[in-house]
Chain A
Amino acid sequence: MSLGVDPHQGVERLSVPVSGWREACQSALADGERFCGAFAGGSGSGRRWRALFARGASTRILSTAPEGDELPSVVDFLPAAEWDEREAHDLHGLRFRGHEPLRALIAHPRDASSWTIPVEGEGVYEIAVGPIHAGVIESGHFRFHVVGERILLLDLRLFYKHRGLERAAEGQELAEGLVYAQRSCGACAVTNSVSYALACEAVLGLATSRELRRARTLLLELERLYNHLNDIAAICAGVGFAPGNMAFAALKERAMRLNLSLAGHRFLFGSVEVGVSRLDLPSAAVDQARGELRELRHDTARAWREIQFAPSVQGRLDDVGVLGHDDAARLCAVGPVARASGLRQDTREDSPALWYGSSFAAALPPVADGDVAARLEVRALELVEIFSMLEELFATPVRPDEASSAGPSTSIGVARVESPRGETVCVVEAEMYRVRRLHLRTGSYANWPSLVLATAGNLLPDFPLINKSFELCYACVDR
């Protein structure tokens, strides 16, 4: 066993013989560490299978060398690793002993039986929808096993939008690779870029300055703001409440216009770079932003109050699409979804490379019973928190700044950043200042299996609503 500790970045690397892989993962979990992804790294004879575990702000990378293409699976005690193992099989040809059947995830074989779950039972039938949906929605395929109107099981097939972005980033210079992370998803562009930039800075041994942390946090919260407004609008649409949908769509539009005026892009594209921030907001600009945000806060609070007193909305939310606390923990759910199920998981609480101080506390809904109502409420609570943080973040002019050299460079950088949908993990493996491997595991990737579980047992017509309450991306999952 070799041990390489880099305390400066809070990342510990541990290499484990393949025979001890399961025990190593088990003992990490037994120590109270949280699984946050597994991926194939290295190349050629240096090929490695790595798993990430987190506790607080520190991250541990366990690595092992596969025997040929084979590895022992961990899904029996760590179901959250299911997608990671299936992905590694499809993209990197790894095989996992004990993961049976190992259904295709990213690959789309012609033979449907190799990836679908057979429909069984009396009176059970199947409804297939997608990849093209009825609204303006991303492409993906769902198969519902249904009895009467009740969903027994949801069988997912995503990755219609797989663009091979991680592979395409290989060989790029570190600074140039950022765009692959960013364009993997419009709605998480800032989170993906910040996580990529932080991972690269870890590789380069760079430390972020206070001003750089503030600029990035500001952008992250602006991203969360328009996403949460959008998601509340979407939930209103999911119950057919047009006034709420339109009111929140209008609020979101105002947030987007604010983004444009501050960073020159409605989705804040191009606002994050490796090792530097060019965001320059003189006092007039921050004052104006504060003014606009106060108005937005006021109007948001009013619109939210109205939703709370709209019986046609409230009557649809309770006990629908329930994700219980234990299931959320078992599947390592993240973000608003996890918090709505009473799981205290918010990576902003442990983000020393960003501006959030130790005083930041995740917003938990008072009744965190994991239904649509709780997932809606957690977003409303977070909106209040976002407005307060932005008020502070915009207190003084924002100046451009650079990261400074703080230590030796390493070959792997890891960053975990809270996106509007939960923790996004970015791993960059580098060689000669170029990307050797990029791995992006976004909050949506972590949460899709939880959506599948929360859907079972509900009425089919409630699915769009349940889906909206999770509001997961396809783009950054498919990559």
Chain B
Amino acid sequence: MFVLLRHLQRVRREAALPKRSGARSLAIRHVDAGSCNACEHELTATAAPQYDLQRFGLDIVASPRHADVLLVTGPVTSRMASPLRVAYDAMPEPRLVAALGDCALGCGVLGASTEIVGSLDAVLPVDIRIPGCPPTPQAIAAAILAATPPRRL
């Protein structure tokens, strides 16, 4: 255990992450609307010690009822369109929708037209766009941080 903790300390030291800059937070609910799972891997990686997104007050929450941001991956399959809407409807206002990855942005989507609704735009109003296939953990972190509300004085 202590070896692991020391190892983690070393990783953190090497990553030399800047200190968090104030008390802000954003609760995120992720929905996989038909991704290839690489976008999920990169989203999970933002919590790894090399990025540690949580130090900015960013948290993945279990329910859309607790979320400020709905973060969606994949090209929205026809089977996921309605669960996606249900999740969105359960969110309190104000709420933001983020499209994570080229699929969600409707770029270069592969698949049969009958099985896919298209880009996330066709289903929900999109506020944050994070391009990439998949976007790197840095890109995900930067895009979400830019959307965190300004610090109140």
Q: Which residues of chain A are within 8 angstroms of B5 by Cβ–Cβ distance?
A: 243
Q: A108-B79, A139-B32, A187-B41 are in contact. Are A180 and B7 (CB under 8 A)?
A: no
Once the chains bind, are B50 and A306 in contact (CB under 8 Å)? no
Q: Is A161 an interface residue (CB 8 A)?
A: yes
Alpha-carbon distance A246/B8, docked complex (angstroms) = 7
Chain A 440-479 near chain B by CB (<8 Å), digits 1 or 0: 0000000000000000000000000000000001110010
Count residues of chain B with CB under 8 A from any CB of chain A.
46
Alpha-carbon distance A189/B110, docked complex (angstroms) = 15
Q: Which residues of chain A are within 8 angstroms of B112 by Cβ–Cβ distance?
A: 163-165, 167-168
Instruction: Pick from A186, A230, A250, A269: contact of B50, CB below 8 A.
Output: A250
Once the chains bind, are A249 and B47 in contact (CB under 8 Å)? yes
Q: Which residues of chain A are within 8 angstroms of B32 by Cβ–Cβ distance?
A: 132, 137-139, 161
Instruction: Pick from B8, B50, B111, B136: contact of A266, CB below 8 A.
Output: B136
Once the chains bind, are B49 and A249 in contact (CB under 8 Å)? yes
Instruction: Pick from A179, A246, A310, A473: contact of B49, CB below 8 A.
Output: A246
Within 8 A of B (CB), among A175-212: 179-180, 183-187, 189
Alpha-carbon distance A278/B110, docked complex (angstroms) = 24
Taking chain A's interface residues, is the majority helix, strand, or loop, or is none over half, making it mixed? loop
Q: Which residues of chain B are within 8 angstroms of A224 by Cβ–Cβ distance?
A: none
Alpha-carbon distance A167/B37, docked complex (angstroms) = 20
Once the chains bind, are B111 and A136 in contact (CB under 8 Å)? no
Q: Is B69 an interface residue (CB 8 A)?
A: no
Once the chains bind, are B111 and A164 in contact (CB under 8 Å)? yes
Chain B 63-89 near chain A by CB (<8 Å), digits 1 or 0: 100000000001101011001000100
Q: Which residues of chain A are within 8 angstroms of B75 by Cβ–Cβ distance?
A: 163
Q: Which residues of chain B are within 8 angstroms of A184 by Cβ–Cβ distance?
A: 36
Once the chains bind, are A247 and B43 in contact (CB under 8 Å)? no
The CB with the most chain A CB atoms within 10 A, among B36, B48, B79, B112, is that of B36
A130, chain B: closest CB distance, angstroms: 9
Q: A165-B111, A303-B4, A475-B36 are in contact. Are A132 and B41 (CB under 8 A)?
A: no
Q: Which residues of chain A are within 8 angstroms of B16 by Cβ–Cβ distance?
A: none
Q: Which residues of chain B are within 8 angstroms of A42 by Cβ–Cβ distance?
A: none
Within 8 A of B (CB), among A139-176: 139, 159-165, 167-168
Once the chains bind, are A252 and B48 in contact (CB under 8 Å)? yes
B95, chain A: closest CB distance, angstroms: 16
Once the chains bind, are A302 and B110 in contact (CB under 8 Å)? no
Chain A residue nearest to B84 in the complex (CB)? A132
Once the chains bind, are B4 and A247 in contact (CB under 8 Å)? yes
Q: Is A326 an interface residue (CB 8 A)?
A: no
Instruction: Pick from A132, A162, A243: contact of B31, CB below 8 A.
Output: A132
Q: A160-B77, A164-B115, A249-B49 are in contact. Are A138 and B40 (CB under 8 A)?
A: yes
Q: Which residues of chain A are within 8 angstroms of B116 by Cβ–Cβ distance?
A: 163-164
Q: Is A244 an interface residue (CB 8 A)?
A: yes
Alpha-carbon distance A227/B79, docked complex (angstroms) = 28
Alpha-carbon distance A305/B1, docked complex (angstroms) = 10
Q: Which residues of chain B are within 8 angstroms of A187 by Cβ–Cβ distance?
A: 37-38, 41
Q: Which residues of chain A are within 8 angstroms of B26 by Cβ–Cβ distance?
A: none
Once the chains bind, are B48 and A230 in contact (CB under 8 Å)? no
Within 8 A of A (CB), among B106-137: 110-112, 114-116, 133-134, 136
Alpha-carbon distance A183/B36, docked complex (angstroms) = 6
Once the chains bind, are B50 and A161 in contact (CB under 8 Å)? no
Alpha-carbon distance A302/B63, docked complex (angstroms) = 36
Q: A139-B32, A165-B111 are in contact. Are A243 and B41 (CB under 8 A)?
A: no
Q: Is B60 an interface residue (CB 8 A)?
A: yes
Q: A243-B1, A256-B45 are in contact. Are A189 and B111 (CB under 8 A)?
A: no
Q: Is A70 an interface residue (CB 8 A)?
A: no
Q: Which residues of chain A are within 8 angstroms of B83 by Cβ–Cβ distance?
A: 131-132, 139, 160
Once the chains bind, are B8 and A473 in contact (CB under 8 Å)? no
Once the chains bind, are B77 and A163 in contact (CB under 8 Å)? yes
Once the chains bind, are A135 and B114 in contact (CB under 8 Å)? no
B36, chain A: closest CB distance, angstroms: 4
Once the chains bind, are A131 and B80 in contact (CB under 8 Å)? yes
Q: Is A134 an interface residue (CB 8 A)?
A: yes
Q: Which residues of chain B are within 8 angstroms of A250 by Cβ–Cβ distance?
A: 7-8, 11, 48-50
Once the chains bind, are B37 and A474 in contact (CB under 8 Å)? yes
Instruction: Pick from B47, B74, B87, B133: contact of A269, CB below 8 A.
Output: B133
Q: Is B33 an interface residue (CB 8 A)?
A: yes
Q: Is A431 an interface residue (CB 8 A)?
A: no
Alpha-carbon distance A37/B136, docked complex (angstroms) = 36
Chain A residue nearest to B33 in the complex (CB)? A139
Once the chains bind, are B40 and A137 in contact (CB under 8 Å)? yes
Once the chains bind, are B43 and A138 in contact (CB under 8 Å)? no
Chain A residue nearest to B5 in the complex (CB)? A243
B142, chain A: closest CB distance, angstroms: 16
Once the chains bind, are A473 and B37 in contact (CB under 8 Å)? yes
Once the chains bind, are B49 and A306 in contact (CB under 8 Å)? no
Within 8 A of A (CB), among B40-61: 40-45, 47-50, 60
The CB with the most chain B CB atoms within 10 A, among A136, A184, A230, A309, is that of A136
Q: Which residues of chain A are within 8 angstroms of B80 by Cβ–Cβ distance?
A: 131, 139, 160-161
A contact residues vs B (CB 8 Å cutoff): 108, 131-132, 134-139, 159-165, 167-168, 179-180, 183-187, 189, 230, 243-244, 246-247, 249-250, 252-253, 256, 266-267, 269, 299, 302-303, 305-306, 309-310, 473-475, 478
14 A-B pairs within 8 Å (CB atoms) are namely A132-B32, A135-B62, A137-B40, A138-B37, A138-B40, A139-B33, A139-B83, A160-B83, A161-B80, A163-B111, A164-B115, A165-B110, A243-B5, A246-B48
Given contacts A163-B75, A266-B42, 18 further A-B contacts (CB under 8 A): A135-B62, A138-B32, A138-B37, A161-B74, A161-B80, A163-B115, A163-B116, A164-B115, A183-B36, A183-B110, A184-B36, A186-B35, A189-B38, A250-B8, A253-B50, A299-B7, A475-B37, A478-B34
